[in-house]
Structure 1
Amino acid sequence: MNVVETKLEGVVVIEPKVFGDHRGWFSETYSDAKFKEVGLEYQFVQDNQSFSAAKGTLRGLHYQLDPKAQTKLVRCTRGAIYDVAVDIRKGSPTYGQWFGIELSAENKKQLLVPKGFAHAFMTLTDDVEVQYKVDELYSPENDRGIIWNDPDIGIEWPLGITPVLSEKDEKAPLLKNADNNFTYGV
Structure 2
Amino acid sequence: MRTEKLDIEGAFAFAPPVYRDERGLFTSPFREEAFAGAVRDRLFPVRDVSHNVSARGVLRGVHYTAAPPGRAKYVYCPHGRVLDYLVDLRVGSPTFGRCDASELGGDGGRALYVPVGVGHAFLSLEDGSVVVYLMSEGYAPDREHAVDSLDPALALPLPDGADPVRSPRDLAAPTLAEAAERGLLPDYAACREAEDRLWP
What residue is the counterpart of 1:142 in the other structure?
143
What amino acid is the match of 1:120?
A
Q: C-alpha separation between the residues in 2 aligned to 1:146 and 1:102?
A: 21
What residue is the counterpart of 2:198 in the other structure?
none
Does the Cα contact within 8 Å between 2:14 and 2:29 map onto a contact in 1?
no
SS at match of 1:94: coil
Identity %: 32
What residue is the counterpart of 1:6 in the other structure?
6
Query: C-alpha displacement at 1:19, in angstroms?
Result: 2.9
Does the Cα contact within 8 Å between 2:151 and 2:175 map onto a contact in 1?
yes
Query: C-alpha displacement at 1:37, in angstroms?
Result: 4.2
Show CA shifts across 1:15-72 (max 9, x none). Answer: 122233444332222244552244334222211110113x110000000101231111
Please list every run of 5 or more consecutive structure 1 residues that lacks an aligned counterpart in the other structure.
none
Show CA shifts across 1:135-182 (max 9, x none). Answer: 111111100000011111111112422211100000000112211132
What residue is the counterpart of 1:69 in the other structure?
70
Instruction: Report the CA distance shift for 1:148/1:16 in structure 2 as closer, same or farther (over 3 A).
Output: same
SS at match of 1:10: coil
Query: C-alpha displacement at 1:116, in angstroms?
Result: 1.6
What residue is the counterpart of 1:183 in the other structure?
188
What is the TM-score normalised by the length of structure 2? 0.85
Larger mean Cα displacement after TM superposition, 167-176 or 31-40: 31-40
Q: Which has the higher helix share?
A: 2
What residue is the counterpart of 2:51 in the other structure?
49
Count of paired positions: 185
What is the TM-score normalised by the length of structure 1? 0.91
Q: C-alpha separation between the residues in 2 aligned to 1:99 and 1:160?
A: 20
Q: C-alpha separation between the residues in 2 aligned to 1:143 and 1:131?
A: 18
Larger mean Cα displacement after TM superposition, 96-105 or 124-133: 124-133
After the TM superposition, which residues 3-152 of structure 1 pair with which residues of structure 2 at under 5 Å, given as runs? 3-32=3-32, 34-40=34-40, 41=42, 42-53=44-55, 55-152=56-153
Q: C-alpha separation between the residues in 2 aligned to 1:39 and 1:129?
A: 25
What amino acid is the match of 1:102?
E
After the TM superposition, which residues 150-161 of structure 1 pair with which residues of structure 2 at under 5 Å, given as runs? 150-161=151-162
Q: C-alpha separation between the residues in 1 aligned to 2:160 and 2:125?
A: 8
Please list every run of 5 or more consecutive structure 2 residues that lacks an aligned counterpart in the other structure.
194-200
